[in-house]
Every structure is written in C-alpha cells, then in structure tokens.
Homo-oligomer: A and B are copies of this chain.
Amino acid sequence: MNKYKEITEFADRRALFFPTAEIHSALSGFWDFGPMGAALRRKITELWRKEIVKKVDSVEIEGCVILPKQNFEASGHLKNFVDPLVQCKKCHKIFRADKLIETETGKEVPEAAGTKEFDGIIKKNNIKCPACGKELANVKKFNMMIGLSVGPVSKEYNAFLRPETCQNIFTSFQKIYKSSRVSLPLGISQIGKAFRNEISPRQTLVRLRELTQLETEIFFNPKKINEVEEWDRYKNHMLRLKLLKEKDTKSFSCEEAVKKKLVSGKLVAYYLAITQQFFEKCGFSPENFRFRELEDKAKAFYSKETWDFEVKSEVGWLELVANNYRTDYDLSSHQKVSGVDLSVVEDDEKFIPHVWEISMGLDRIFLYVLENSLATRDNKPIFKFPYYLNPLHVVVLPLVRKDGLDKKSREISELLKERFDVKYDEKSSIGKRYVIYDQFGVPLAVTVDYDTMKEDTVTLRDRDTQKQVRIKINKLPEAIEKFFSGEKIEKLGNIIK
C-alpha cells in the first residue's frame, strides 16, 4: 500500500481530516480537520510564526476573506486569474484543457498559455471528449474566483472571496507602514483562508477549493536588494536549486547563488534560506526537496522571478510554497485604481517598494508532514512527528477505570496540562491504548496503576523505544521537559521494561 493511500485511510478512520459536511452529499474540494488534524495544523502554524514570521521580523495581520470587486480590478485577478476550460459539444462535460492535454499527450502546457495555443494542440493531436468521444468546443478562460452579492439589494457580484490572502496585505501596507513604527524591509504576514473555484479538485488536500495560506510579503527598497543585515549568518547556507536549464537539483551556497546571478539579489537568497530552514525544522531531508525555477509562461501573472519549493511526495513533486518576486506590481496596480499614493520615502527618495513573497500552502504542508512522519510497526501506521510538531505530548492512561485509578489519572492530566498538550483516555485495554497513541504519534504515555495509589509513582513510556521507567509524580513535569530536550527515557527513572 502506498503512503498516500495509507494516510488517507488512517485520516478517515481517526478523523484527522474528512470531507466537509460529509453526512450530506458534500461538495468536492472541501475538507474539515478533526481534533488531531487541527492540532497538527496549529503546531505547523506555531513553527511558521517562530521560524519565518519572527526571523524576518515580520508583523502579522488578520483580514477579511470577502474583498470588494474593485480590489480585483486593481490586482488583475478579474482579468488574469483564469483556468483554460474546454467543454464537450455533445455531452457538455467540462475539462481543464491543460490537464486533458497532459493526460492525452503526456506533454505539459502551462495553464497560462493562450486559448489559441490550446485549441491548436487539441486539434493537432485530435483530442476528443474523454467521456463520450465526441468533439470539443473551443477553449475558454474561466475565472476561478468565487463571486458574491453583499447587501440586500445587489444581484450582481460586488465582491469576491479572495483567491490569495496577500491582497489584504497590499491594500493595508501603507496604513501599517505609517502607523506601526516600522521601516523597510518590512514583512507583513497573514494566515487565512483563500478560495479557488477549481474545476477538478483532486487528491484530497492537494487541490482544494477552500485552502489555508501562510503568507509573508516583504516590502523592500529595490536599490537595496543586496543589503541584508543577517548576510554573514546565511551566506554559507546551502540552497537546493533546480535551475531551469539543468536537469538535476544542485546545492549552492547563498553567496554562490548571488555571484552566479541565479537569483535577483542577496535578499532573495536570504529569504530562500529562511524558507528552507523552516522545512528542515519540519524534519524534511534535503534530498527530498528543491526550489524549482519557473519559466516565464509557468509563472503567475504578477511574478518576475519564481522559485517553487517542492517536495518529493508519493503523489509526485508537490509544490508547498510559491516564492515570488512580485516587484511593485501589486502596490502600483492598487495605487492606479484607488488613486491613493502607496509610495514611501527613504533616504530622501520617493519610490514604490518591491515585494518578495513567501506563499505557503498549509494544507499541502500538513499532508506532507504526515507522509514524511509515517512509519510502520506491526503492519500498522504510526506517526513519528518531529518534536516541534507533536500535536499531543503526553497521554495519561489509568490501567483500569476503577479503584480511584481513573480519578488519579485525571488529576495528573490536569497537572500536566499546564505545560503540555495532554489527553486522558480510560477506554479499552492498556495494550490497545498504547498501540492507538503510538499511531497518533504521541511520544510519551503516563500509566497510572495500583502502585501509583501506594507510592505516588507512575510509569512513563517512550513511543519509539517502547521502554518504560517508574517515576515519582512530582518529578514528572521536569522529566517530560528533559525528555523533550533530548534526554533518553532510561535516564529519567528506574527502568522496568
């Protein structure tokens, strides 16, 4: 069984994630996250705050998902955020033209190609409707934004669900710059939902209609693209780059990447290094990831330079982050449509800042963290999450739920909750519970037995070695801290198993 299948089955069985409103006939492309899934996502988000937001000295904002139509006139999404669709003349089924061509011919055509190019390829390769075999109509560009009518009167769309969270960042940049005691380079981050009316949502969390982004937009003076305060600390950091003109991924130091002009400047190399470090902390290995340089046609319409951070997953190379050099595209466009001056003054010079974007997809990162943490024991999946990402630190288990063992366990659970993420469980045999929480990826189990009642000790069990030690209850919080600082379980108490 491949890992992807194993994960989706486990996810369904243990409610890590499942189709939204599943009990009704749910719409495809929407997924909800159950207790363990949501907890893992919060841990990834915390790590993002620590490793990206804090490191690049970014502020964080929180904005609405519904934005007025005018925003998307300015941003270009009304015109450019389109998918190429082709409909069968006979059975009226609709397909993504680029995906259809890829399936039928094995050739990749960028989704941003022109309709005539698509029509030409379809004609040349004599591609017919895969459903009924009849002729296909001409390719049309379909806007992927979801429109809405706000207010009781309007029947036309006067607003859209944002297709990317960064739009709030661009429209509020000037306000934040002027009021929040900050200077360039200024990072502004946001976590939130984005929405895309995909024609063919697929592979659970890989292509969604409602997704969660962790975005950071860094505003900087383009003349200072080679000024990085932290350069000395990062210049030797090795980046995994898959260049457009090379077949294989190679390692370059940040310094080399700048000298060979593989990137637009030191700032770019620095932000790529920060991004890569985040994933190293997620436990990903260098041989399984790369920054892929994108050709012009494949880039988003607003980007001058794009490096997709990709991981080698069971479903192929999977993009987790779009790193885009958006230049002054967004601020200039918003300035033009709104009439509001979005320039800044620095060193007596007035200019519109440029933007480097680190746009992460939480859903795909979540999915790949599961894949990367998946191991097998006795033919069952278990998750070995890296320390930072453990959704639960400890589970507290009474040997049996009687004679006060359950009450004592709940007390210990309350005690540990103050410092750790803890769950109490009294159902099923103790052996079965160990197996279940190993699967959930919980690194430590505390067991309360009859000796606990006599001598105030419990057993502490390590998921990975399955070793157990006996330990005083009042030493427990400290022992758990030590374990997570790297101490071996056998150093924490008297080994009993």
Residues of A participating in the B interface, judged by any CB pair closer than 8 Å: 13-15, 18, 20-27, 29-39, 41, 54, 57, 59-68, 70-71, 74, 85, 94, 142, 146-153, 158-159, 161, 167-168, 171-172, 174-176, 179-181, 183, 193, 195, 197, 199, 209-210, 334, 337-338, 340, 342, 417, 423-425, 427, 436
A223 to chain B, nearest CB (A): 21
A183, closest chain B residue (CB): B427
A433, closest chain B residue (CB): B181
Nearest 6 pairs between A and B by C-beta? A35-B59, A32-B63, A24-B70, A38-B62, A15-B179, A23-B338
Which residues on B sit within 8 Å (CB–CB) of A179?
13-15, 34
State which of B20, B35, B171, B436 has its C-beta within 8 Å of the C-beta of A168. Answer: B20
Does B24 contact A171, Cβ atoms closer than 8 Å?
yes
Counting chain B CB atoms within 10 Å of each CB, the highest count among A31, A179, A210 belongs to: A179
A172 to chain B, nearest CB (A): 6
A36, closest chain B residue (CB): B180
Counting chain B CB atoms within 10 Å of each CB, the highest count among A24, A66, A158, A337 belongs to: A24
Does A70 contact B34, Cβ atoms closer than 8 Å?
no
Cα separation A210 to B67 with both chains bound (whole Å)? 11
Which residues on B sit within 8 Å (CB–CB) of A181?
423, 425, 427, 436
Cα separation A94 to B62 with both chains bound (whole Å)? 31
Copies in the complex: 2
Interface class of chain A by DSSP: mixed
Does A65 contact B172, Cβ atoms closer than 8 Å?
no
State which of B24, B29, B150 has its C-beta within 8 Å of the C-beta of A71. Answer: B24
Does A21 contact B209, Cβ atoms closer than 8 Å?
no
Which residues on B sit within 8 Å (CB–CB) of A158?
27
Which residues on B sit within 8 Å (CB–CB) of A146?
66, 148-150
Query: Given A27-B158, A32-B61, A37-B61, 13 more contacts at CB 8 Å?
Result: A15-B180, A20-B171, A23-B342, A24-B334, A32-B63, A32-B172, A34-B172, A34-B179, A41-B62, A65-B193, A65-B210, A66-B195, A146-B148
Which residues on B sit within 8 Å (CB–CB) of A60?
35, 38-39
Does B147 contact A24, Cβ atoms closer than 8 Å?
no
Does A30 contact B199, Cβ atoms closer than 8 Å?
no
Cα separation A172 to B23 with both chains bound (whole Å)? 8
A334 to chain B, nearest CB (A): 6
Which residues on B sit within 8 Å (CB–CB) of A197?
150-152
A30, closest chain B residue (CB): B64
A31, closest chain B residue (CB): B64
Does B35 contact A176, Cβ atoms closer than 8 Å?
yes
Cα separation A29 to B67 with both chains bound (whole Å)? 11
A-B contact pairs, 26 of them (CB 8 A): A13-B179, A14-B179, A15-B175, A15-B180, A20-B68, A20-B168, A21-B168, A22-B172, A23-B171, A24-B74, A27-B66, A27-B150, A30-B66, A32-B62, A32-B63, A34-B61, A34-B172, A34-B179, A36-B180, A37-B62, A38-B62, A64-B210, A65-B65, A66-B146, A151-B197, A151-B199
